[in-house]
Amino acid sequence: MKFIAEIDVMPLKELLDPQGKTVGKNMHHIGIEGIQDVRIGKHIQLVLEAASEADAREEVEKACTRILINPIMEAYSYHLSPA
């Protein structure tokens, strides 16, 4: 079975996100009003082939913890659906 995993990788809440802060502080200079907070992370789409949803989840979690995420600075969440 083919699955698509949509993974969000975001800087941990406890950490400053300097890229997001900079973008947020400058929004009103270009006419965008009401912005209170901006956080910027990564979005990753994985297309994978697996025997079952449980197997697919296992591979996605391995991919996140072994290569995609830096656990010191980032947290991830994902949504898996059949492709």
Residues 62-81 contacting a second copy, CB under 8 A: 62-63, 66-68
Residue 36 touching a second copy (CB under 8 A): yes
Least distance from C-beta 41 to a second copy, angstroms?
5
Say if residues 15 and 73 touch (Cβ distance below 8 Å): yes
Of the two residues 2 and 81, which places its CB atom closer to a second copy in the complex?
2
Residues 6+ positions from 79 with CB-CB distance below 8 Å: 5, 6
If you ran DSSP here, which 8-state letter would residue 25 be given?
H
CB of 26: closest distance to a second copy in angstroms? 8
37 near a second copy, rule: CB under 8 A: yes
Which token pair is 35? 């912005």
Q: Which is nearer to a second copy, 29 or 72 (CB)?
A: 29
Q: Does 8 bind a second copy (CB under 8 A)?
A: yes
